Amino acid sequence: MVNRQTASYLTKRFQQTGMRPLSRFGQNFLIDLNLVDLIADSADIDDRDLVLEIGTGTGSLTSRLAARAAHVITVEIDTNLAQLAQEELEDLPNVTMRLHDALKNKNNFDPELLENIREEFDKLPAKRRRFKLVANLPYNVATPIISNLLRCDPIPDVISVTIQKELADRIVAPPGTKDYSALSIWIQSVANASIVRTLPPGVFWPPPKVTSAIIRIDTDANLRARIDNIDFFHEKLRALYFHRRKFLRSVVLSAMKGELDKAQVDAVLEKLGFSGEIRAERLTVAQTIELINELGTASAEAK
């Protein structure tokens, strides 16, 4: 098992290879080995699990995941770093390393990666298999990774990742707070989220300029079942919160432009008992789901 990801080890290995951490890839390596273990432990991994790791790094977390999981798919975008990690992981038969971007674009996962995930997932016993994302996520892609994966097949059972504390606060934010956003609603609509641990910059090499956090997200089929159409919900949620501080009637009209006219929007708000003069950001998660479901029904009937 890799247990050498300390500042001195990383400095030496990077000097030997002529490499340096690349900020454009969000490369900040966790050097507190107890916290590396905590990320893996927080996901409750066992031999039922297919684990996806995005950002292989030097393979320190990867090897810990492989010791617990049925199979690990780890993705690294940096060719030089992938070669370094491969030296550490080559003797682990239950690890598949993929060298490319996990995202096709900011709104979609790479289709080849999703197909690889489905292939490995289908190899596990159907009655007990689970899919989990466990990673020290590159900060520059953390939001699209988490947000988009929750719309993919298979849906992750657990997400246990290190991200910016600011992003973690947004994910768990309650209605009416400054951090409450479309991302808060989206994740809380389909999952339960909690911050496991706050991490100071000094536990990383090189240290980032921000505080970080380990967050755990548990998806919930009962929560998800409240949503009539996941893709429609995700699309309209983003549209509603594009102008989150405007009045509800105004943002709904904008979000439903070309689908519903003013009278139809007013009818939806009246049916739900929602005032068009409140700000969209004041709606609770349940109220937002109710609103977008009703907008979807009205849109379908108007066609």
Which tokens belong to 134? 């466990």
Continuous H helices in 60-129: 60-68, 79-89, 111-122
The CA-CA-CA angle for residues 243, 180, 204, to 5°, reads 115
**Cα(274)–Cα(249) distance, rounded to whole angstroms?**
9
User: 192 a known binding residue?
Assistant: no
User: 136 a known binding residue?
Assistant: yes
User: 76 a known binding residue?
Assistant: yes
User: 101 a known binding residue?
Assistant: yes
Instruction: Please report, for residues 7, 121, 201, the alpha-carbon distance to residue 85 in angstroms, rounded to integers and kept in the order given.
Output: 16, 23, 23
- Laid out side by side, the sheet with 49-54 consists of 95-99, 71-76, 49-54, 130-136, 158-164, 212-219, 191-199
Give the H/E segment covering residue 10: helix 7-17
CB proximity list for 222: less than 8 A, separation 6 or greater:
none
User: 261 a known binding residue?
Assistant: no
User: 3 a known binding residue?
Assistant: no
Residue by residue, DSSP assigns 120-149 as HHHTS-TTT-EEEEEEE--GGGHHHHHHHH
Feature table: binding site for S-adenosyl-L-methionine? 28, 30, 55, 76, 101, 136
Feature table: binding site? 28, 30, 55, 76, 101, 136
